[in-house]
Amino acid sequence: MDTVFNIITALFALVIALVASGIAIRVFDKYLFPTVDFADHLSGGNGAVGKVVAAIIVMTFFTAAWVMAAPPDYNRYDAQFRKWGKWEFGRTVDWRHFKAQGLTESLLNPGLCSHVGACGVMQFMPATAVAMGVTNRFDAKQSIRGGIKYDKRLWDQFTAPRPKLDRLAFTFMAYNAGLGNVLIWQKQAVAAGVNPNLFETLKPWVWKEPRGYVERSRRWYARLKRNKRWTG
């Protein structure tokens, strides 16, 4: 099905590019080169050939722009997220939450490195990678396995009663900002007389980045649930 979808998408892009080419040529001739027939000029006097050449040039531009603007293949690595999500969490947590986390981390790009040196699909720092048994941070399978393993280790730290989605939010905050910082925020919430075990009530003490990290992961998860093609 993916092959058929890609073919249809490519044909649609080609049609759009052809239509845009014709419009662009008329714009060039009328507004940018009012004294020169753009298509004719390209061919050295042969108007028909010039129009084809102009169409190819403009079509190439629009096709390249279309390809660059197209989203990455978010349908990758489903088997790995499903396998290791169920291995570590059983049926407690939908594996798509971890795929949403991977999308938040790197858009599933195994070659991505951040400015602080975190690399791979799940954006491992070197020391954490070693601790989770990840020998190659750029290996997507290792990264996903290690990332979900790390999630489970963090999940097990948050045992106080709370809704499952809040427990997952605390897990993801700790993944992003460090367990120690989450514990500090909880202490600050307790000192203020606020429930320290809910994401919404803890927000005032949470840094902007981990707060946004949880919210983006939730949006990705909702998107994955809506679009079955992305969820395997």
29 confidence band (pLDDT: 50, 70, 90)? low
Output the CA–CA distances (angstroms, integers) from residue 93 to 129, 145, 165, 206, 231, in the order listed.
23, 15, 9, 23, 15
Crossing angle of helices 140-155 and 96-106, in 10° steps, is 110
105 confidence band (pLDDT: 50, 70, 90)? very high
Q: Are residues 58 and 107 in the same domain?
A: no
Q: Are residues 162 and 108 in the same domain?
A: yes
User: Which residues are known catalytic residues?
Assistant: 105
Q: Which residues contact 153 (CB under 8 A, 6 or more apart)?
A: none
User: 3-7, 36-40, 112-116, 141-145: lowest mean pLDDT where?
Assistant: 3-7
Q: Please check whether residue 62 is in contact with residue 20, taking contact to mean a CB–CB distance below 8 angstroms.
A: yes
Classify residue 171: in a domain, yes or no.
Answer: yes
* pLDDT for residue 1 is more than 80: no
């980045």: which residue's tokens? 209
In this structure, what CATH number is given to the domain that contains residue 84? 1.10.530.10
Cα gap 61→29, rounded to integer Å: 18
Instruction: Give 146-170 pLDDT, tens digit per residue.
Output: 999 999 999 999 999 999 999 999 9
CA 178, 180, 183, 185 torsion-angle sign: negative
Crossing angle of helices 140-155 and 78-89, in 10° steps, is 30
Q: Are residues 119 and 27 in the same domain?
A: no
Number of domains observed in the structure of the chain: 2
